[in-house]
Structure 1
Amino acid sequence: MPQARVQRLQQPPIGEQPIEIVERKGLGHPDSICDAVMEEIARAINAEYQQRFGQVLHNNIDKGLLVAGRVRRRLGKGRVLQPMELVIGDRATYRVGRVRVPIKEIAVEAAKGWFRKSLRHVDPNRHVRYRVVLAEGSDELADIFRREGVREANDTSAAVGYAPLSETEQMVLWVERYLNSPGFKAAFPETGEDVKVMGIRADRALTMMVAMPLLCKAITSEAAYFRKKAEVMEALRQALPPSPGLDTIELVLNALDREGRGLGGMYLSLLGTSAEDADSGQVGRGNRVNGVIPLNRPVGGEAAAGKNPVSHIGKIYTVLSHRMADQIFRRVEGVREVYVWLVGQIGRPVDQPWAAVQLIQAADAEDEQITQGCRLVIDQELNRLTDFCVELTEGKYPVC
């Protein structure tokens, strides 16, 4: 395995560049739901494989679609007319010898469990229908799991991770997590979980456009809606963490609202998610594995959620590249910003990717010292890849 190539970038870190755009799709966004549910299903199926056979078997639960339902909303009330539908795909191992694995049953129960614990107003039995279209995998890909030695990659794929998060990225991430935190929901139970934050930074001025529905059953008049909206905005302003790199932060909440237009001028929800009737969701359209959608950064093309954690390098390298970047930033003195690239070839051992590092370093940093430090981190992380895959299987690293 050749040593990782290390390249110096002649540019300022992203936070010092004049324009930065960052998005975060929150817990109840239909795309985020798809990512989270497919990952939950994959973990449940992998746990079943390990319990029955002592290892993860061929599976990729990384194709999912949440089809929006239909509801009727009125001030102070509402009802579901047509449930949402969750389509669960792609491939799984249903049988080993004479032992059958109840894949469909596991998938549906895992999905229901996620809805039950994550979305307060969604009844997983009444508000969601489930269609499982998981099929057996190909013989060649399934055979990877029967081969001796280090697991081989089941795809040719590339990934890139970076560190650290910029101040804008941290702020966008913080806002969504704050608005969906247990403390905030206890203080403002009238708010739904479908939070979306778009941050635009121009020099040292940040504008964050936030979308978050209020629950129609808790809002009895237009005046009550706009009064509660103002309270939410003030609570958010007061809670914003210090931001030394920013001069101003402007907040916009539910920009489509218009007073005097009744239901057409208010962002109301019955179940707390726009998947109830306004927006469908799909795996891979949501956040990157570090929790944001960074439009100014290079990103890989893989959706990590639901892929198997021991041979699908689209998942392994996507998460690992961010971990490597974080380790380099923390451990190698003089690194201001770093990007780690990993490329794997189908059929090659997963611990033998092509690797490269791009970085921005301090003016007084030692080139050779940084190069050696970066390569040491890459080598150490690849040498413990088996342990990393175990941690990934156990859900230690978030993927959405």
Structure 2
Amino acid sequence: MQISRSLTSVADLPVETVERKGFGHPDTLADGIAEAVSQAFSKACLEGEPGAVLHHNVDKVYIGAGHIASWFGGHEVREPVVVRINGRMSSSYGGTDLGIEDIQIAAATEYLSVFAPHYRVGETIRIEPNATQHTKRPHWFTPRDLADVPDAKEPRASDTALCVAHAPLSPTEYIVRELEYALWDWSGEHPVPRWSDVGQDVKVFAWRTGRRLEVTACVPLLSDTVASLDAYLERIRHLEGELQTIAERLAAGRLDVRLRVNPVDTPQGHRCYMLALGSCIECGEEGVVGRGNGWNGLISPLRPRSMESPFGKNPAYHTGKVYGQVAQRLADDIHQRFGVACSVWLSSPNGYPLLPPHNIWVELPPGEGPDDRELEAFVQERLQNTQVPGDMLVRRYRP
């Protein structure tokens, strides 16, 4: 384990940029569907005869090809959106079919019902299960018994991967993430949109200079609810005021926030951000896994970022998934225990035991935090208490 004390907090930099692609953004939807399918399959394996998570990776989900026209007061479905679940999944165990197509369709349908609530599978969305069993290893995706799943007994790094996590969020990061979360009501079993006339394909971008934070929120209105351009502009002004109030509350005096919603003016007039059902998947845009938010739900260009996208990867022994979550939990634990900002880097060569990671690097600010011996003991204790896959199967509604 290596410890360095050279960390500069992004909150102390003169300039900071942060972005979040909201839940209905094509890329975030792809991430979420991939994760939902992986978790559903993993739970079915653990609760069924295998009793262990079988080999799978569905981290190549694709969404696109939709064509739904919209105008003030209405819309028309011309071509449904396609969700293609690409990747590989174990299709049988001990000669018994696992019904992976049904698992893929059910998990994707449930996820879309929450985060793309205005679309209907079979009407405006078509789901295409496309997970294969192609491999050079016999029985890797058609195991006869757990002897064909060696990772289940002795998890090893499935790839040489580097994952990095940071804690705490900077004030800019916190505002950007929580501002998009505020578009949802989280009080029930599943989140629901806070406003019935607002779509889900939201993007929040912030640029901080010193204490001044400029936030741009792109928020679509649903076309059926907007009668005219004047009605659109009036609703956007009202929405801008509400989000400005929320942003100021989140800033809590730490930053001076100026927020704008859909500020797109052209020589021809204002360009409306208006969608039929709430996401740009309906008008030709496409989404794929790994192009959007990181595990913490943000895109922070001034922080080092994991090269692996965790969404859809095997939660029991895929390095890029396990280390991403372990690194984030470890960073959070260090911050909570010692009150210090930190970055945690984890990696292991391909084939090494998965836990504890072979390479551990913790970065702290100069002159802050515990001494090296106390920190190392704390990290080792936390790693010893990490259980795979149990700790990895926490259902997250906030990718």
Distance 2:327 2:117 in 1: 34
- How has the CA–CA distance of structure 1 residues 22 and 246 changed in structure 2, closer, same or farther, with 3 Å as cutoff? same
Provide the residue aligned with 1:153 in structure 2.
Answer: 157
Q: TM-score, normalised by structure 2?
A: 0.91
Is the 2:66–2:282 contact (alpha carbons within 8 Å) kept by the matching residues of 1?
A: yes
The structure richer in helix per residue is 1
Specify the alignment match of 1:174 in structure 2.
178
Aligned residues: 386
User: SS state of the match for residue 59, structure 2?
Assistant: strand
Of 130-139 and 227-236, deviating more is: 130-139
2:90 paired residue number? 93
Report the TM-score, using the length of structure 1 for normalisation: 0.90
- Structure-1 residue corresponding to 2:362: 357
For 1:128-139, what aligned pairs fall within 5 Å after superposition?
128-136=125-133, 138=135, 139=137
* TM-aligned CA deviation for residue 144 of structure 1: 7.0
Partners of 1:394 and 1:324 lie apart in 2 by 16
CA shift, 1:118, in A, is 2.3
Identical aligned pairs, as a percentage? Answer: 28
List runs of 5+ in structure 1 lacking aligned partners.
none
2:197 aligns with 190
Contact 1:38–1:88 (CA<8 Å) still a contact in 2? yes
Q: How do 1:148-297 and structure 2 match up within 5 A?
A: 149-181=153-185, 188-240=195-247, 241-244=249-252, 246-257=254-265, 261=269, 265-297=271-303
Q: Does 1:390 align with 2:390?
A: yes
- Contact 2:81-2:282 within 8 A present in 1 as well: yes
Once the two structures are superposed, residues 8-57 of structure 1 have per-residue CA deviations (whole angstroms, 9 ceiling, x without a partner) of 10x64210110111000111000000000111111111122122221111
Q: Distance in 2 between matches of 1:121 and 1:96?
A: 37
- Contact 1:324–1:377 (Cα < 8 Å) also in 2: no
Q: CA RMSD, aligned part only?
A: 2.3
Q: For 2:313 and 2:192, how far apart are their aligned partners in 1?
A: 32
The code of the aligned residue for 2:69 comes to R
User: Are the aligned partners of 2:29 and 2:115 in contact in 1 as well (CA < 8 Å)?
Assistant: no
Question: Is contact 1:185-1:191 (8 Å) kept?
Answer: no
- CA shift in 2, pair 1:75/1:102, >3 Å: same
Residues 246-290 of structure 1, C-alpha deviations (whole Å, 9 max, x = no match): 4421112112255974xx721110011111114210100111111
Equivalent position of 1:380 in the other structure: 381
Shift of residue 147 of structure 1?
Answer: 5.5
Give yes or no for contact 2:20–2:203 (8 Å, CA) kept in 1.
yes
Structure 1 distance, partners of 2:96, 2:392, is 26
Displacement after TM superposition at 1:305 (Å): 0.6
Structure 1 counterpart of 2:17, which letter? I
In 1: Cα distance, 2:153 partner to 2:40 partner? 25
- 1:346 aligned onto 2:350: yes
Structure-2 separation of matches of 1:137 and 1:379: 38
Paired residue type of 2:264: L
Relative to structure 1, is the Cα distance of residues 147 and 305 closer, same or farther in structure 2, using a 3 angstrom cutoff?
closer
